[in-house]
Each structure stands twice: as structure tokens, then as C-alpha cells.
Amino acid sequence: MAATPFELKGKSVYVAGHRGMVGAALMRRLVQENARLAILERSEVDLRDQAQVFD
């Protein structure tokens, strides 16, 4: 596994598109790096709405 340029352990990361091929691979890597994952479904947040994103 390639080294990361910075520490991800304990960092919160939101992955948009976590059900897709790239998003799923990214999620697996983040789990290996002990990152805290923030996952929301499309029905829970509209990423085009800035107020919802900040909430």
C-alpha cells in the first residue's frame, strides 16, 4: 500500500458516491487508514444546497 502524504487516522471524511466503484474503493482504503467515515444517502442531503452541506 502506498504511503499517504498526511495522517488520516481519526480524521472525519465524507465520501460522496460511496456506493459506486471508485467510492467503494476509497471507502475500503479509508477504513484501512482508520479514518472516521461520514456517510449520507442521496435522500438525506442535497449536495447542491450549501446550507444542508454545512449542517
Cα–Cα distance for residue pair 51/45, rounded to 1 Å = 10
Q: Please tell me whether residue 1 adopts helix, strand or coil conformation.
A: coil
pLDDT per position as a tens digit, 3-52: 768 788 889 998 888 888 999 999 999 999 999 998 888 888 888 999 98
The closest of 14, 19, 21 to 52, measured between CA atoms, is 14
pLDDT value of position 36: 93
Beta-strand (E) ranges in 1-55?
Answer: 12-14, 36-38
> Does the pLDDT value for residue 1 go beyond 70?
no
The closest of 36, 45, 33, 31 to 14, measured between CA atoms, is 36
